[in-house]
Amino acid sequence: MSSTDALRLLLLSSLWGLSFIFMRVAAPEFGPVPLVLIRMGIGALLLVPLLMSLRYLTLIWQHKGSLLILGIINHVLPFSLLALATTRLEAGFTSLINATTPIFTALLGAAFFATPIQRQQYLGLALALFGVYVLSADRLDFALGGDGWFIVAVLGATFCYGLAGNYSKTRLSHLPSRVLAAGSSAMSALVLLVPGLLLWPSEPVSVLAWGNALALAMLSTTLAFLLYFGLLASAGATATSTVTFLIPVSALLWGYLLLDETLSLQVVTGMVITLSGTAIATRLLKFRSRGALTPPRPPHE
């Protein structure tokens, strides 16, 4: 990875880490669905100019059904679930649970998309799930006023991301990145238009909430998408996937600095376990089998 790509990666992780801060501030006033309508509506308006050629417009029309499905499972549902979760959960905590996305990607790939899971990946999956347990064991209260259902909402979002990753890889990998980003964003905005307007808050929304909503749309969606797909083309999928491990760190730091969220020993321990398991499951950390050891070289004569 070049130094330019490394800077892109750090900026991308910071923008996506900030998205949890923006949602944490704006979601309580807007509500989850109207906030995501703003996010995807403005994102679509800013991204659609990238499609202003007959070739791209033709691809959008030919794959409108698939892009609609991708928009629902990669934007509408997970963004709404995360926005709902941030009305109750801390931004850093939410981002840590969300970091299990590669776990669901691997499990769903093996179950429905014929993607094999290697032996060491099972260890990573188990370790990451244990990390989630460490993070949330004392918060899984499903009574009225508890955090349990909000944690389930975050896991639901990661499930959607896992499904979307496999769907995109198997059905849409031949499309240009700008078609995927702008096309799915436009479809998402259309899906959200009616429910977002019906659920629009009846009380005036504060300037602070509007500022965070607009920042979520312009910085953590439009700019982040452009950075992500540019990094994917320049550095490759493996290097780009390391953003998964930087986002929670970014969100925790922003939450600590901007929202006075606490960094408890439990959160730090859960983060280390979860991210270690995810690194093993995604094979960024690899174990060498005994049979794979390189034999010693004979001495020079």
Query: What pLDDT score does 236 carry?
Result: 64
In which band, very low, low, confident or very high, does the pLDDT at 287 lie, cut at 50, 70 and 90? low
- Does 233 have pLDDT greater than 80? no
- Does 256 have pLDDT greater than 80? yes
How much is the average pLDDT of 37-43? 95
Query: Burial level of 218, CB count in 10 A (0-12/13-18/19+)?
Result: middle
In which band, very low, low, confident or very high, does the pLDDT at 239 lie, cut at 50, 70 and 90? low
How much is the average pLDDT of 204-217? 96
**Of the segments 71-80, 90-99, 132-141, which one has the largest average pLDDT value?**
71-80
CB distance 281 to 106 below 8 Å = yes
11-25, 56-70, 222-236, 254-268: range with lowest mean pLDDT: 222-236
- Does 60 have pLDDT greater than 50? yes
- Does 285 have pLDDT greater than 80? no
Query: What pLDDT score does 289 carry?
Result: 56
Query: Burial level of 128, CB count in 10 A (0-12/13-18/19+)?
Result: buried
How much is the average pLDDT of 125-135? 87
The fraction of the chain above a pLDDT of 90, given in percent, is 46
Both tokens of residue 270? 């859960």
CA separation, residue 285 to residues 99, 121, 123, 128, 166 (Å): 16, 10, 12, 13, 21
Higher pLDDT, residue 291 or 19: 19
pLDDT, tens digit (0-9, with 9 covering 90-100), for 137-192: 888 888 888 899 999 999 999 999 889 888 888 888 888 888 988 999 999 999 99
Q: Which of 249, 295, 247 is nearest to 268 (CA)?
A: 249
Contacts of 211 (CB under 8 A, 6+ apart): none
- Mean pLDDT, rounded, of the chain: 86
Query: What pLDDT score does 291 carry?
Result: 45
Both tokens of residue 104? 């669901």
If DSSP codes are grouped into helix, strand and coil, which group holds residue 63? coil
In which band, very low, low, confident or very high, does the pLDDT at 298 lie, cut at 50, 70 and 90? very low
CB distance 229 to 176 below 8 Å = no
Interior/surface letters 253-280, b for 16+ CB within 10 angstroms, e for the rest: ebbeeeeebeeeeebeebbebbbbbbbb
How much is the average pLDDT of 264-272? 89
Query: What pLDDT score does 26 carry?
Result: 97
- Does 116 have pLDDT greater than 50? yes
